Structure 1
Amino acid sequence: MTYIRIRFSLLIIILFTLLSCNDSGKLKNPFKKKNVTLAYAMIPLEDSLPRISESYKKTKKREIENFFINNFADDFENMSFLVAKNGQIIYEKYDGFADKENNVLNSPETPLHIASVSKVLTAAAILKLIEAKKITLDQKLTTLFEGFPYLDITIRTLLNHRSGLKKYNYFCDDKANWSRDKILTNKDILNILITKKIPQDHKTDTHFTYNNTNYVLLALIIEKVTKMKYSKAMKKIIFEPLDMKNTFVFDEKTPLAKGTPSYKYDYSKYPFDFLDAVYGDKNIYSTPRDLLKFDLARNASSFLKKELLDQVYQGYSYEKKGIKNYGLGIRMREWPTGQVLYYHNGWWHGNTACYLNLKKENAVVIALSNKFTRKTFQMKRLSVLFGDYPFTLNDTVAKEE
């Protein structure tokens, strides 16, 4: 028995030694924790989603068409619009001009500027980096940007708009020695914050203030962590894995001709200005069909672990009574009766957008327009066709961006 024990012990030692060596013969630490790699967004398999019946689809399509006839008639132009449930398109509509000067019509493949709905995608990329343990939700920005003067700001307080920072369009002016003839970039904004030490509007994590500066910094964090330009990182983490072929980021290196024009009420074109190259808070161009793919992935159980996902869909700002709130990259309406509506609107120049994420019902409403109209924001009323929400199709929903 002693002999058997000795031979067994020798065998264990030999196996341990072999497993602990690499090809060069150097010993490895078998207990060393491996780095977690980034799992890119993946669209769920179509077979995993329940099929909706043709009768259900016809009923909903008729209700949506009646909604348009009763509320918008013929004056809601330049629209790309889609409604889907369980990943299956119930209704879509593409009207107006992608480029009126050249008589190019909007189509399912026309990328339109989604304005602040870009924040939802920026937040998604940040959350994937958190999931991969490249950064942490409560990591301070002082650990990421040398000389960053705001000691209490974390990634979480950027995502939920509680950083207390001033809006960049308010401080990138003559006081900061910034000429409006010079194109502003994300790095310029960070540099001004660091060198000029712009005073905060309020102490960090004490108030909600919807603020584009927060998402400018989140885009820079994506660049810092991935060592890629934001446009490339978004392509690698979100766009390519989800087959979002008509989605891209517009930045200071993008040819002007690539961006679909946006128009005022009278079809006069909005000119390019010094803020138009800033990204993260805006400047993603996409289509309803591409955003449907994103929505499917975002709602899939494989996208984020439940512990992190629960923090995304919770409110963080209760200083004032009311139903409006904000999670991590998503707007919310929380009613005393318990219903919660998740969505995000966008508005930049003539571009308006609405992304209605009916998470509980696994339905989505996406409306984009490149000719200015506030009617895009009224698409939230369609939520009552799919779930129990305390308003009707005829109620006017608040118009905030």
Structure 2
Amino acid sequence: MQMIFLKKTKILQILFSLLVLSSCGNDNKTKTTATPTVEDTLPKMKPLGPEKKISQAYKNSVIGRINHFYYKNWPNNSMNGSFLVARNGQIIFEKYNGYANKNEGTKITAETSVQIASVSKVLTATAVLKLVNAGKIDLDQKVNTILKTFPYEDCTIRMLLSHRTGMRNYAYFTDHDKSVWDRHNQLTNKDILDLLATKNIGLESKTGTRFSYCNTNYAMLALIIEKITGLSYKEAMSEMIFKPLGMTHTYVFDDDKDRKKIVPSYKGSGVEIGFDYLDNVYGDKNIFSTVRDLLKFDRARQSPDFLKPELLKQVYTGYSNERKGTKNYGLGIRMINWETGQNYYFHNGWWHGNTSSYITLVKEHVTIIALSNKMTRNTYAVRKLAPIFGDYPFNFKDEE
């Protein structure tokens, strides 16, 4: 009987040892297998990587014409902002001039982040397109399947991106009628959605029937980014675009944290422009950046990893040509399409005294960017540089 008891005891000891070892193994697995965070599952931009080096001879062949344009457009070095021209991601020409803050006497440098206004739409569209590319949303998905209270049931994500929703601009329908909005209160993206859902804000045109550039579209796209990622727009843009591309001087304006730190904007007369009730809305504007950071962003959009070919083709398809003409709008990008087959892609911006122009000459691998925090239309004249690099048949004679 004693032998039997000893054998049973031995068996129990072995089983206990195996159980302990198994438990330790599970503990090790628990320790080494980290739970993926929201940030880990986000689709992210990737840098393009090294591009073909441009020669000094090539730089010399174009720099004189760029220099001539610069001093003609901004005589006596009068630009108040930053200006950059690059090819293959390599800077050919850059200038920084004027005051970041007149009261403090600080000058604009390569590291001065300024409000890029509606050029922000290109970045917002890029984040949305990355979510589409990853299968997290669909271009033709109804907006109200994501934003449940959104009232226009025929509206799709594609229509938001291409300005074909027929919605009214939030800056207009909140401007005069206090029963809609009290301008003493800061307006937010969520407020805009709530107003659309509860105040019977009429459409300018039937959804999907015509192009009408409207900031409300991109305010809604920012809310979609938040809903799908589970992050704030500020966090999502940082994780998906700014951090992966090393855009260290780019951020989304946060009124509570940044109001006293940002570079202010000025009227053409030099008078500083204050804040108003619309300054909390993002997606359509409110990204601050530099020309060098935007160059990184532009080159990443040329990467084969940016979007699947079929989706990329839709980005550069025109959606606004009800009447025959050269001007058009794609998915978050403006364009001019000539009958010669040449295409010119760009986006301009204006908010308060900030003006911006982003140009990407895709065939020639050229990037042209101008940013100013003092009101001037000269920022938009940088398109005159396009014919230096390719066959862009602009007629500038009427503008001289």
More helix by share: 2
Matched, 1:278 2:249: no
- Pairwise CA distance, 1:175: 5.0
Matched, 1:221 2:247: no
Instruction: Please point out which of 147, 154, 157 is paired with 1:155.
Output: 157
Matched, 1:200 2:203: yes
1:119 aligned partner: 121
- Pairwise CA distance, 1:394: 5.9
- Pairwise CA distance, 1:72: 2.9
- Whole-angstrom distance in 2 between the partners of 1:122 and 1:382: 26
Secondary structure of 1:194's partner? Answer: helix
- Whole-angstrom distance in 2 between the partners of 1:292 and 1:103: 27
Q: Which deviates more, 52-61 or 222-231?
A: 52-61
- Pairwise CA distance, 1:334: 1.0
Secondary structure of 1:380's partner? Answer: helix
Change (3 A) 1:392 1:72: farther
Secondary structure of 2:256's partner? Answer: coil
1:387 aligned partner: 390
The structure number with the bigger radius of gyration is 2
> Quick check: 1:219–1:279 contact (8 Å CA) kept in 2?
yes
- Pairwise CA distance, 1:396: 3.4
Secondary structure of 2:266's partner? Answer: coil
1:232 aligned partner: 235
> Quick check: 2:77–2:97 contact (8 Å CA) kept in 1?
no
> Quick check: 1:37–1:132 contact (8 Å CA) kept in 2?
no
> Quick check: 2:173–2:180 contact (8 Å CA) kept in 1?
no
- Whole-angstrom distance in 2 between the partners of 1:39 and 1:170: 35
2:35 aligned partner: none
- Pairwise CA distance, 1:85: 0.3
- Whole-angstrom distance in 2 between the partners of 1:70 and 1:263: 22
1:185 aligned partner: 188
1:320 aligned partner: 323
Residue type of the alignment partner of 2:97? D
Cα deviation code 1:217-270 (max 9, x no counterpart): 000000000111100100000000000000000134333112210001121100
Q: Which deviates more, 334-343 or 252-261?
A: 252-261
Instruction: Please point out which of 313, 336, 339 is paired with 1:336.
Output: 339
Matched, 1:372 2:379: no
- Pairwise CA distance, 1:82: 0.4
> Quick check: 2:265–2:353 contact (8 Å CA) kept in 1?
yes
- Pairwise CA distance, 1:299: 1.1
Matched, 1:347 2:350: yes
- Pairwise CA distance, 1:315: 0.3
> Quick check: 2:210–2:320 contact (8 Å CA) kept in 1?
yes
Matched, 1:42 2:69: no
Matched, 1:242 2:245: yes
- Whole-angstrom distance in 2 between the partners of 1:344 and 1:283: 15
Residue type of the alignment partner of 2:289? S
Residue type of the alignment partner of 1:188? D
Change (3 A) 1:348 1:50: same
Residue type of the alignment partner of 2:120? S
> Quick check: 2:180–2:199 contact (8 Å CA) kept in 1?
no
- Whole-angstrom distance in 2 between the partners of 1:37 and 1:233: 11
- Pairwise CA distance, 1:176: 4.1
- Pairwise CA distance, 1:147: 2.7
TM-score (norm: length of structure 1): 0.87
Q: Which deviates more, 72-81 or 183-192?
A: 72-81
Matched, 1:87 2:89: yes
- Pairwise CA distance, 1:320: 1.3
- Whole-angstrom distance in 2 between the partners of 1:111 and 1:136: 33
Q: Give % identity.
A: 54
1:54 aligned partner: 56
Residue type of the alignment partner of 1:84? A
TM-score (norm: length of structure 2): 0.88
- Pairwise CA distance, 1:179: 1.1
Residue type of the alignment partner of 1:118? S
Change (3 A) 1:56 1:127: same
- Pairwise CA distance, 1:360: 1.2
Change (3 A) 1:105 1:290: same
Please tell me the root mean square deviation across aligned C-alpha atoms, in Å. Answer: 1.9
1:70 aligned partner: 72
Cα deviation code 1:116-161 (max 9, x no counterpart): 0000000000001111111111110110122321011000000000
Change (3 A) 1:395 1:368: farther
Secondary structure of 1:258's partner? Answer: coil
Residue type of the alignment partner of 1:69? Y
Secondary structure of 1:272's partner? Answer: coil
1:298 aligned partner: 301
Secondary structure of 2:288's partner? Answer: strand
- Whole-angstrom distance in 1 between the partners of 2:93 and 2:80: 17
Secondary structure of 2:85's partner? Answer: strand
Residue type of the alignment partner of 2:173? F
Change (3 A) 1:85 1:392: farther
Number of aligned residues:
364
Matched, 1:269 2:287: no
Secondary structure of 2:109's partner? Answer: coil
- Pairwise CA distance, 1:317: 1.8
> Quick check: 2:372–2:379 contact (8 Å CA) kept in 1?
yes
Residue type of the alignment partner of 2:247? M
